[in-house]
Structure 1
Amino acid sequence: MLFPQWRTGAVLAVLAVSAAGPAAAQQISPAETLLFETDHLAKVKPPATLVYSFRKDSNMESGFKDEVRLDLARINGKLRATLHFLTGERKQEIPALEEAHGNPVLLGFLEHDIAEMKRLTGGSRSYFQKRIRMALAEGAQLSVEPLTYQGKTVQAQTVRIQPYLNDPMHARFEKYLHKTYTFVLSEQVPGGLYQLRSSLGKPDTVRTGAAPAAPPMIDETLTLISVTPKQP
């Protein structure tokens, strides 16, 4: 099972098939399938190390640049994934996956984001997790867009959500109302995930004819930069 704490909605939908018929399977949204039901690591040939850059820009507190590394190894026929999410004092401890399928970098990014939300607001981890999961199930925007990876143009699928836009507790988390998450995935890049981003800024006023939107107050971006040894 990939990231059980993030797949609750999907698991319930699958269990409901026996009671409600094949149509119940449609409760699993395309975004959930893409992120949580896809074997992102199927085309990676271990041993391999995927390296991602991590960048935080903020006008609320100090930004930084760091690194995320995913080590993959084949042990007793199973793919073992060890995630090193950030370094030094910022390092986030995540247990190794002994039989990995989905890319755990996604888990690391989401857990980091929720920890930051809790730190900045004092809100509940489970509440933020629920809002993200509900947005993926009910309000995700999907698009197909090209991206350039290591000098080549490949097709990618992009998922965008705004979990707090219709948040019933928006009065408490008003500044996060327009926070946007963007997930860029492609079968043509190692590990399936090219870029993950969370962006907190003011509403987009360009479409209304008003002044251009202000830059994000907090912008965190994780981007795949290399894999060794080079994958076929």
Structure 2
Amino acid sequence: MRLFVLLLVMLGSAATASAAGTYDLLFHKGGLSGLHVPAPASAGKEPPDALLYDRVLLSGKKGEAPDNDNIGLQLSADDNVALILRQGPRMRSLGNFPASVGNPLIMYFLESTLSDVAAQSGGSPYYIRNRIKEALMKDAEIVPVSVHLGDRDIAAQKVTLRPLEKDKARSKMGRFAELALSVTVSEQVPGWLYSLEANVPEGQGPEDAGYRNAITLTDKGEAKP
């Protein structure tokens, strides 16, 4: 939870920069507007998800299958948001947040990605965090895309950051210098965030596995008006 708080403070300061457009797209404060709190669960049962996301995580050795799990976003009547990670029968809270900050999934995505990349590369998480902060304060690559949700095709924008692309220490990061963070957003998508994906290409060595952290909204937990 401490890392979430650090990231929120860090990114809050980035929003005051002149090139805040990238930050505003990813940390859209109205991202949860229009969602309705589902009816309370029966006593002893887990609260229902307002939104449900599938996650695919590849961070092991070459040839290993990726992990597949789900992240549920739950709303409460007191305007709090909870993120729940489900890995088979296991469940783990990823934190509770005020709804006013928008969809907190973006915070989890960035924080988990930098922690994974730091562990896999042997680099400093503080160094990677600072590069992400700088990327959020600059213009990003933004392209129009169409996404499919339920029975609809939705106009969206794909925002891509490459936080180490022009870094002075790029040569020391090896293939991790190619880290790309892509987030697809739309006003028509419940919760604003349709997909979030981090990618690093695999290297030449037998242990140089690629990295992928992909989170995508499903229509299974979509809150209806």
Structure-1-length-normalised TM-score = 0.77
Contact kept in structure 2, 1:60 and 1:218, CA below 8 Å: no
Overall identity of the aligned pairs, in %: 24
Contact kept in structure 1, 2:29 and 2:100, CA below 8 Å: no
| Counterpart secondary structure, 1:138 | coil
Give, in whole Å, the separation in 1 of the partners of 2:98 and 2:12.
Answer: 19
Equivalent residue in structure 2 for 1:44, among 35, 49, 67: 35
- CA 189–229 in structure 1, closer or farther in 2 if over 3 Å, else same: closer
Provide the residue aligned with 1:56 in structure 2: 57
| Counterpart secondary structure, 1:95 | strand
Residue-by-residue CA offset, 1:29-73 (whole Å, 9 max, x unaligned): 321111124320012111352110001246735321111111111
Contact kept in structure 2, 1:49 and 1:227, CA below 8 Å: no
Letter in 2 for 1:54: R
Provide the residue aligned with 1:94 in structure 2: 94
Alignment of 1:67 onto 2:70 = yes
| Counterpart secondary structure, 1:67 | strand
Provide the residue aligned with 2:114 in structure 1: 114
Provide the residue aligned with 1:19 in structure 2: none
Letter in 1 for 2:55: F
Unaligned segments of structure 2, at least 5 residues = 39-48, 204-208
Give, in whole Å, the separation in 2 of the partners of 1:87 and 1:231.
Answer: 26
Residue-by-residue CA offset, 1:195-223 (whole Å, 9 max, x unaligned): 000111279xxxxxxxxxxxx92222100
Unaligned segments of structure 1, at least 5 residues = 14-26, 204-215
Q: CA deviation at 1:7?
A: 2.4
Alignment of 1:148 onto 2:148 = yes
Contact kept in structure 1, 2:50 and 2:222, CA below 8 Å: yes
Contact kept in structure 2, 1:92 and 1:112, CA below 8 Å: no
Give, in whole Å, the separation in 2 of the partners of 1:158 and 1:173.
Answer: 25
Alignment of 1:224 onto 2:217 = yes
CA RMSD of aligned residues (A): 2.7
Provide the residue aligned with 1:84 in structure 2: 84
Q: CA deviation at 1:101?
A: 3.5
Contact kept in structure 2, 1:80 and 1:97, CA below 8 Å: yes
Provide the residue aligned with 2:44 in structure 1: none
Give, in whole Å, the separation in 2 of the partners of 1:230 and 1:36.
Answer: 20
Alignment of 1:29 onto 2:20 = yes
Higher RCO (C-alpha 8 Å, min separation 6):
2
Aligned length: 203
Contact kept in structure 2, 1:81 and 1:100, CA below 8 Å: no
Provide the residue aligned with 1:161 in structure 2: 161
Letter in 2 for 1:32: Y
Q: CA deviation at 1:93?
A: 4.9
Structure-2-length-normalised TM-score = 0.79
